[in-house]
Amino acid sequence: MRVAILAHEGFPDRAKTAVGILRYGDDEVVAVLDRTRAGERVRDHVSNVADAPIVDGLDAVEEPIDALVVGIAPIGGGFDETWRPDVRGALERGADVVAGLHSFLGDDDEFARLADEHGAEIRDLRRPPDDLAVSDGRAGEVDAEVVLTVGTDCSSGKMTTTFELAEAACERGVDAGVVPTGQTGIAIEGDGIAVDRVVADFAAGAVERMVEEHAAEYDVLFVEGQGAVAHPAYSGVTTAILHGAMPDRLVLCHAAGRDAVHGYEHVPISPPGEYAALYESLAEPVAPAEVVAGSLNTQRLDDDAAGEAVEAYADAIDAPATDPVRFDAAELLPAVLGEV
Amino acid sequence: MRVAILAHEGFPDRAKTAVGILRYGDDEVVAVLDRTRAGERVRDHVSNVADAPIVDGLDAVEEPIDALVVGIAPIGGGFDETWRPDVRGALERGADVVAGLHSFLGDDDEFARLADEHGAEIRDLRRPPDDLAVSDGRAGEVDAEVVLTVGTDCSSGKMTTTFELAEAACERGVDAGVVPTGQTGIAIEGDGIAVDRVVADFAAGAVERMVEEHAAEYDVLFVEGQGAVAHPAYSGVTTAILHGAMPDRLVLCHAAGRDAVHGYEHVPISPPGEYAALYESLAEPVAPAEVVAGSLNTQRLDDDAAGEAVEAYADAIDAPATDPVRFDAAELLPAVLGEV
């Protein structure tokens, strides 16, 4: 598939879906739409991905595309009306529109009509299946080993770490798969349930179902965590995933230097070691799991500072750590796969 | 209002909505429907409430009623098709139907048509408002004191304790109100949001909104907790309420003698003291709150055993405790209101 990615005013730092697709997706990205960076290039901002131009809107994309993907997820997950011309333009070309917003584009009258007229499809990745149920508390019984990424905040690297670890494990010959729980993971994998969009009572049940289904296919599952257990808005989703997945081991993700919750500057982030202990205490009564490794997002540091930060982080959580993007996720595999 | 309460095969132990309405509601209960106990009386099973006959179906209720209330909430919250004749009968009489199920009775074609034909209203208490949003993490800033009931399991007495404490506080002249978060509390209070039925990402936001609204009216709020923080299915909702409400103090509810999660017998319940510590560690990074009192459901014990169990429970959680139904909720007020 040839896709354009909408990321207005957010690329790359507040466009994690865009970056995730660039980094882990199979689709060819022909352009990124960000009106504040028109004329720049993807590689000016993100390393180790295929390059593409950044343009100010869909009208500037001359190549044919199969789909426009909404690659930003604002807090609250709403649709920004300034994106309407781009979505309209894609549908008028007959291109599909893929979005992971809380508000469903398929429910928008104009978009639904345009999709119908031009034979395009609107895929709302967060729309949950309609047959979800409460968890049976049985995910711990699956045959596969289950590793869950957890974080000290949202946007701390859980999705990235999940994919990096799965790739590294596959490269080592391990039959590993990803269980995506958010819109970016779903966009990359082509399946999954956006747990944050599920009826709260069914959130753990949705995760349990995905773990059971994926466990029939793989030996090791990397479950993408969401939010953080001490997040003022998203901790419920985090807890539902922890208890729904009943993982064997946890990988704690943290953004180097971040000391307050993203978007909630009045809520400080606890020291990573306390955070690890909190996840372990919370897991213990339902399905005990230890933080066996750490993933540190060192994007904002230079190489020297990054190395030092990783070392300090490993000390703080008393487990091996790395930055899986800057350094090598494979370093964590022995701990993550339970070999040590 | 004159109401009949549907509680087939569940009264009283698996019909907590029915018992809640009998105990704390303002409505006159003319009959309870439970086909397994037809001919018995409400007072045979529940003390300190107005008596009423138990009958095998709505056809046996001869008095006029304003509403039929579904008073049982099966795990999963689905509609049991054996209840259809009773719901149909109520609507055909022009009586409203009030339900707190996950599946909405108003979306059932037959019920919607009957309600329309007979001028009756179907009130689905779990249907969430359509303008919910993510939490701002600001509930801690309200003027009112906020007390949250938390539990070691579901059906451990959180709703009961919430209402008993609020009543006791009001009797002492405190301007206290209840923030209902589940179907029974909503049925009693006439307002509130069923947090378990909300989109998971908005669960904390729904609680925050209710706390902010109620804080404008009362000096002290008793927030009804849900589930339990180590529950395999409902812990997400529990955590969302804890962080959404940002309470000043916690009251830990436990059912005496219960040692495994209700409906999840393979998951043991941790000792209450460990449970209290877990709630406190989880609250701490977002809004610190201590377990200042305990509520023990001693329904299954005799008076002597109940007294001993309460004493042991108080020791275990290192806080004053009582059974607010058997003994007196007012004993807990000094601790709960922060006077000691």
Separation in Å, CA of B241 to nearest CA in chain A:
8
d(CA B208, CA B179): 10
- Mean pLDDT for B324-338 is 97
Q: In what order do the strands lie in the sheet with B290-297?
A: B176-179, B220-223, B145-151, B249-255, B290-297, B321-322
- Joined together, the tokens standing for residue B322 give 């009582």
**Tell me, what's the pLDDT at A48?**
86
**Tell me, what's the pLDDT at A183?**
86
Q: Which residue has the tokens 């901002």?
A: A45
Does pLDDT of B79 surpass 90? yes
Q: Residue B256: which pLDDT band, with cuts at 50, 70 and 90?
A: very high
Residues A171 and A276 in one domain: yes
Give A10-55 pLDDT, tens digit per residue. Answer: 999 889 899 999 999 989 999 999 999 999 999 999 988 999 999 9
A-chain CB neighbours of B201 within 8 Å are: 77, 102, 196-197, 233-234, 237
Does a structural domain hold residue B131? no
d(CA A52, CA A42): 5
Residues B171 and B252 in one domain: yes
Residues A315 and A191 in one domain: yes
Among B252, B271, B269, residue whose Cα is nearest residue B316: B271
Does a structural domain hold residue A132? no
Of A105-114, B189-198, B293-302, B308-317, minimum mean pLDDT range? B189-198
Nearest-by-CA chain B residue for A269: B285
Does A234 contact B198 at a Cβ distance shorter than 8 Å? no
- Mean pLDDT for B209-232 is 98
Does a structural domain hold residue A314? yes
Cα→Cα distances B319→A92, B240, B294, Å: 66, 25, 7
d(CA B132, CA B153): 27
Residues B237 and B154 in one domain: yes
Residues B198 and B328 in one domain: yes
Nearest-by-CA chain B residue for A270: B285
Number of CB atoms found within 10 A of residue B212's CB? 15
d(CA B165, CA B324): 8
Residue A75 has φ and ψ, to the nearest 5°, of -55, 130
Which of B237, B238, B286 faces A232 most closely, judged by CB atoms?
Answer: B286
Does B198 contact A199 at a Cβ distance shorter than 8 Å? yes
Does pLDDT of B331 surpass 90? yes
Residues in chain A: 340
Residues A274 and A205 in one domain: yes
Which of A102, A200, A205 faces B237 most closely, judged by CB atoms?
Answer: A200
Assign residue B103 a region: left if phi > 0, alpha if psi is -120 to 50, beta otherwise?
A: beta
Tell me the CB-side half-sphere exposure of residue A208, using CA atoms within 13 A.
24
Domain final residue pick, B124, B156, B185: B124
A-chain CB neighbours of B226 within 8 Å are: none
**Tell me, what's the pLDDT at B335?**
98
Separation in Å, CA of A335 to nearest CA in chain B:
26
Cα A9 to chain centroid, rounded: 19
**Tell me, what's the pLDDT at B102?**
82
B-chain CB neighbours of A236 within 8 Å are: 200, 203-204, 236-240, 243
Residue B140 near residue B246, CB atoms below 8 Å: yes
Helix, strand, coil tally for chain A in percent (to 5): 40, 20, 45
Cα A17 to chain centroid, rounded: 7
Residue B71 near residue B37, CB atoms below 8 Å: no
Does pLDDT of B66 surpass 90? yes
Residue A17 near residue A179, CB atoms below 8 Å: no
Residue B213 near residue B176, CB atoms below 8 Å: no
Residue B241 near residue B225, CB atoms below 8 Å: yes
Inter-helix orientation angle A16-24/A158-171, to 10° = 10
d(CA A174, CA A43): 31
**Tell me, what's the pLDDT at A73?**
78
B-chain CB neighbours of A76 within 8 Å are: 133-134
- Mean pLDDT for A287-309 is 97
**Domain with A62 in it:** 2-124
Domain final residue pick, B72, B100, B124: B124
d(CA A167, CA A173): 10
Does a structural domain hold residue B174? yes
Residues B120 and B143 in one domain: no
Separation in Å, CA of B168 to nearest CA in chain A:
31
**Tell me, what's the pLDDT at A189?**
87
Q: Which residue has the tokens 């799991």?
A: A289
**Tell me, what's the pLDDT at A191?**
86
Nearest-by-CA chain A residue for B246: A232
Q: Residue B198: which pLDDT band, with cuts at 50, 70 and 90?
A: very high
Residue A250 has φ and ψ, to the nearest 5°, of -120, 145
- Mean pLDDT for A143-159 is 96
CA-based torsion, A280, A282, A283, A287: positive or negative: positive
B-chain CB neighbours of A239 within 8 Å are: 229, 235-236, 238-239
Give B239-251 pLDDT, tens digit per residue. Answer: 999 999 999 999 9
**Tell me, what's the pLDDT at A103?**
87
**Tell me, what's the pLDDT at B16?**
85
Which of A76, A134, A135 faces B133 most closely, judged by CB atoms?
Answer: A76
Q: Which of B154, B201, B238 to mutate to test the interface with A (most CBs of A within 10 A)?
A: B201
Of A17-26, A307-316, B320-329, minimum mean pLDDT range? A17-26
Tell me the CB-side half-sphere exposure of residue A186, using CA atoms within 13 A.
24
Give A63-84 pLDDT, tens digit per residue. Answer: 999 999 999 977 777 899 999 9
Does pLDDT of B216 surpass 90? yes
Does a structural domain hold residue A196? yes
**Tell me, what's the pLDDT at A138?**
97
CATH number at residue B238: 3.40.50.300
Does pLDDT of B73 surpass 90? no
Does pLDDT of A105 surpass 90? yes
CATH number at residue B53: 3.40.50.720
**Tell me, what's the pLDDT at B340?**
84
What are the beta bridge partners of residue A54? A32
Does pLDDT of B83 surpass 80? yes
Does a structural domain hold residue B129? no
Please calculate the CA angle B287-B288-B292 and round it to the nearest 5 degrees.
130
Residues A162 and A207 in one domain: yes
Residues A54 and A193 in one domain: no
Separation in Å, CA of B163 to nearest CA in chain A:
23
Residue A233 near residue A155, CB atoms below 8 Å: no
d(CA A123, CA A101): 10
| Number of compact structural domains in chain B | 2
A20: helix, strand or coil: helix
Residue B25 near residue B89, CB atoms below 8 Å: no
Peptide bond before B129: cis, by omega within 30 degrees of 0? no
Q: Residue B191: which pLDDT band, with cuts at 50, 70 and 90?
A: confident
Residues A115 and A212 in one domain: no
Does a structural domain hold residue A278? yes
Separation in Å, CA of A246 to nearest CA in chain B:
9
Separation in Å, CA of B264 to nearest CA in chain A:
7
Domain final residue pick, B97, B124, B151: B124
A243: helix, strand or coil: helix
Residues A269 and A197 in one domain: yes
Does pLDDT of B167 surpass 80? yes
Q: Residue B282: which pLDDT band, with cuts at 50, 70 and 90?
A: very high
- Mean pLDDT for A206-220 is 98
**Tell me, what's the pLDDT at A271?**
95
**Tell me, what's the pLDDT at A144?**
98
Determine whether A258 is exposed, middle or buried from the number of CB atoms within 10 Å of its CB (0-12, 13-18, 19+): middle
- Mean pLDDT for B307-315 is 98
- Mean pLDDT for B65-89 is 91
Cα B60 to chain centroid, rounded: 28
Give B94-146 pLDDT, tens digit per residue. Answer: 999 999 888 899 999 999 999 999 999 999 998 999 999 999 999 999 999 99
- The proportion of chain A whose per-residue pLDDT surpasses 70, expressed as a percent, equals 100
What are the beta bridge partners of residue A251? A149, A293
- Mean pLDDT for B36-50 is 95
Does a structural domain hold residue B134? no
- Mean pLDDT for B8-18 is 92
Residue type, B266: H
Residues A217 and A329 in one domain: yes
